[in-house]
Amino acid sequence: MQDSKNSKWFLDYFSPSEGHMHGIRTIFSSKKTKFQQMDIMDTASYGRCLVLDHKMQSSEADEFIYHEILVHPAMLMHPNPKNVFVVGGGEGATVREVLRHKSVERCLMVDIDEEVVMLCKEHLPEWHAGAFDDKRTALKFLDARRYLEETDDIYDVIIIDISEPVEEGPAYLLYTREFYEMVNKRLSAEGAIALQAGTTTPDRLLNLTAVHKTLMQVFPHVVSMQAAIPSFGLPWGFTLASKQTDPRKLSAEDIDKMVSSRVSGPLKYYDGDTHQMSMHLPKFIRKAIDEQKRIIEDNAPIFTYN
């Protein structure tokens, strides 16, 4: 964070030579947890924001875009999702969106950083909207990868809502082929997963394209999607993988009918038209995915700029 003459600023670095500057009105919490640096602040343009390891995670003004495009496409790939596993998702907004699906009977959220979750619960009530206290929610504070290695439970949908793979951060081993193979084994026959996959700017496509190609080693249907999230300062990518349903074969009308019958309350971002639009990636991204050879593995991880 940097001070100017009149204001305090948070500079969200994209690279050593580029960033997005946010004017700060108030800092509610700033803490170095066991796993990462966490800041919850009130910004002039986007309201309250969660920042982890000096990177914007979500903001009051546009978190609905991120969480709706992350959650609902994967949930709709399964005909009747009852048991859902959320990896990460400290703010509680991912669980909030999962619980909007009427079929859900249980949602297990596993986050390694209890301090972040508890501070989000205190300072970001609009994000979780009571989801942590819902009787369908189960919450565990431990390593999600280790949990999947040790459990025999089967889930219909797994949502991976974790920070970028920063070197020495808590998330980079949750982007590898070996981890996705574990996820696949813990999914039901019609299961699906979704995750955020990094920016889609022309010069920084390694994360998205490598995630896409790595998931193709494990799942028969893999689709990357794109959304504009203003507080991030960059367009953002999400990747969806399914064991049975091809999301490209669902029409806008199909999506709208499922949302109407299966989801409680109106959505602000995602619908049939948005589903179609999000999958229509520009040529340079499609070309980069086609040409990508990198497969992410435990002994060959990828890291984004820190």
Beta partners for 297? Answer: 300
Q: Residue 156: name the closest of 259, 246, 249, 75 by CA.
A: 75
Q: Residue 114: name the closest of 179, 31, 207, 14 by CA.
A: 31
Residue with tokens 């340079």: 284
Please tell me which residue in 53, 156, 161, 271 is annotated as part of the active site.
161
Active site residue 62: no
Contacts within 8 Å (CB) and 24+ apart, 57-62: 57/90, 57/91, 57/163, 58/91, 58/93, 58/127, 58/231, 59/231, 60/126, 61/230, 61/231, 62/229, 62/230, 62/231
Beta partners for 88? Answer: 161
| Active centre residues (catalytic) | 161
